[in-house]
Amino acid sequence: MLEPLAHIGRDPATGGYVRDAWSEADMELREWFAGEAARRGLDLREDRNGNLWAWWGDPSRHPGVVTGSHLDSVRQGGAYDGPLGVVSAFAALDLLKNRGVTPARPVGVVCFTDEEGARFGVPCMGSRLLTGAIQPDRALALTDDAGDTLADVMTKAGRRPYGIGRDDETLATVGAFVELHVEQGRGLAEHGRSVGVASAIWPHGRWRFDFRGRADHAGTTRLADRDDPMLPFARMVLAAREAAERRGAVATVGKVRVSPGNANAIPGLVTAWLDARGPDERDVRDLVAELSEGLDVREESWTPVVGFDPALRDRLARAAGGDAPAPILPTGAGHDAGILAAAGVPAGMLFVRNPTGVSHSPAEHAEQADCEAGVVALADVLEDLCR
Ligand code: HGY
Ligand code: MN
Ligand code: MN
């Protein structure tokens, strides 16, 4: 089932995926989702924020159990982060039907739009808009590297951007949400288990740093006369790693824009994005404050710590574990399940073993047997929740 997606947005030079929100690749992925829903006779809806829902049963009378994830990727991302959760959702529905299960509640498959925030910088955009965790006007004004706003891009994709925002009607259809996701770490590999359950999502955020200098000639400007923004930028990157180690957090700068970008000129401006996370909110906040001293910094996104509902977490561990409860693990990766949990929706996550733990890279991988174990666990969880 992952195969039909394999070519969409794939860079043949690297095997990595480039599936920006509202891009050509995204539109192809949406068509794939619609086709999977139609093949199963599910009722397909796109909500005002661009999230796709495929329903088995009618959730308007009473809320259903929803499972799913996202199909967009980071630039040069892997094949499993997101798609594994959506494909497993459809496969788990198939399994329930093969078992002759008639769920007592509607069952929905969801594909949240723009989970990675690769294009507009804010992760989990679809679930944040759905739950009101981001204001529509802020979202619509966000721009991509080409300077196009989310409003422009949604309009070009044939959507009505000025209708986006908190969607209580859609939220009311979600009685519980379970997201299956490839593990982005080696916890399950160390446990020797195929499937695990999430306990919490670390607090995490993204900050934009602008380092301004004076553009000048690389060869004729004396060192004493240079105002080279690359130097404070380089100091910040090294300081981020040192501070993260000292504070038990993690931090990196994965995106930098140098302008104008001539090899033979001192740049006028360096813009860099810091991603910082950790188990303790205070440590992350203090780390960023320490790095920001005297610099031009703006917070682009912040996600507080999410502790998944312990009763649902343990219920998932029992249902997903087979003869021994599934291991329960925290994660440093953000997910739509975390946004829904923060909005008060009973939510939880299943993880599928990733032998190397590598993610946000073409090297991301999960074994077929573990993916199948994930589908069985998800079907067992859905059957349990739909009693
Ligand atoms: O960045 C994250 O944590 C997630 O993959 N969006
Ligand atoms: Mn991701
Ligand atoms: Mn993901």
| Contact in structure between 189 and 179 (CB atoms under 8 Å) | no
Confidence at residue 189, expressed as pLDDT on a 0 to 100 scale: 98
CA of 44 to the centre of ligand 3 (A): 22
Which ligand does the CA of 123 lie closest to? 1
What letter would DSSP give residue 327?
P
Q: How many Cβ atoms from other residues are within 10 Å of residue 305's Cβ?
A: 18
Tell me, in angstroms, the distance from the centre of ligand 1 to residue 118's CA: 10
What pLDDT was estimated at residue 323? 86
- Whether 339 and 177 have beta carbons less than 8 Å apart is answered as no
Rounded distance from Cα 189 to ligand 3 centre (Å): 19
User: What's the pLDDT score for residue 193?
Assistant: 97
| Residues in the chain where the model's pLDDT stays below 70 | none
Pairing of strands 10-11, 16-17: antiparallel
CATH topology of domain 204-302: Alpha-Beta Plaits (3.30.70)
Residue nearest to atom 6 of ligand 1 (CA): 116
Secondary structure (DSSP) of 100-162 = T---SS-EEEEEES-SS-TTTS-SSHHHHHHHTSS-HHHHHH-B-TTS-BHHHHHHHTT--GG
Model pTM? 0.97
Of all ligands present, the nearest one to the C-alpha of 112 is 3
69 forms bridges with which residues in the sheet? Answer: 111
H-type alpha helices, the chain: 24-39, 83-98, 125-131, 136-141, 150-156, 168-171, 187-191, 230-247, 281-292, 310-321, 336-342, 368-385
Any ligand 1 atom below 6 A from CB of 126? no
Interatomic CA distance for residues 379 and 147, integer angstroms: 43
Residues 45, 51: Cα–Cα separation, whole Å: 8
What's phi and psi for 277, nearest 5 deg? -150, 165
- Could you give the CA distance from residue 277 to residue 360 in angstroms, rounded to a whole number? 16
Distance from residue 13's CA to the centre of ligand 3 (Å): 23
Q: Is 31 exposed, middle or buried (0-12, 13-18, 19+ CB in 10 A)?
A: exposed
In angstroms, rounded to a whole number, what is the distance separating the alpha carbons of residues 379 and 90? 10
How large is the angle between the packed helices 281-292 and 230-247, nearest 10 degrees? 160
Q: Where are the domains of the chain?
A: 3-202+305-385, 204-302
Give the C-alpha separation, 50 to 55, whole Å: 16
Could you report the per-residue pLDDT of 257-273, keeping only the tens digit for each?
Answer: 999 999 999 999 999 99
Are 73 and 118 spatial neighbours (Cβ–Cβ below 8 Å)? yes
Q: How far apart are CA 275 and CA 260, in angstroms?
A: 24
121, 129 in Cβ contact below 8 A? no
Closest ligand 1 atom number to CA of residue 333? 3
- b/e map 169-185, b = 16+ CB within 10 Å: ebbebbbbbbbbbbbbb
Tell me the per-residue pLDDT of 125-136, one tens digit each, with 9 for 90 and over.
999 999 999 999
With b meaning 16 or more CB within 10 Å and e meaning fewer, what string describes 228-249?
bbeebbeebbebbeebbeebeb
The dihedrals phi and psi of 354, each to the nearest 5 degrees, come to -120, 105
The CB of 179 under 6 Å from ligand 1? The reply is: no
Fold entry, domain 3-202+305-385: Aminopeptidase (3.40.630)
Instruction: Verify whether ligand 1 is closer than 6 Å to residue 64 (CB atom).
Output: no
Q: What residues pair up with 212 in beta bridges, in sequence order?
A: 269
Residue with tokens 């204001």: 135
> Which of 368, 375, 366 has the alpha carbon at shortest distance from 80?
366
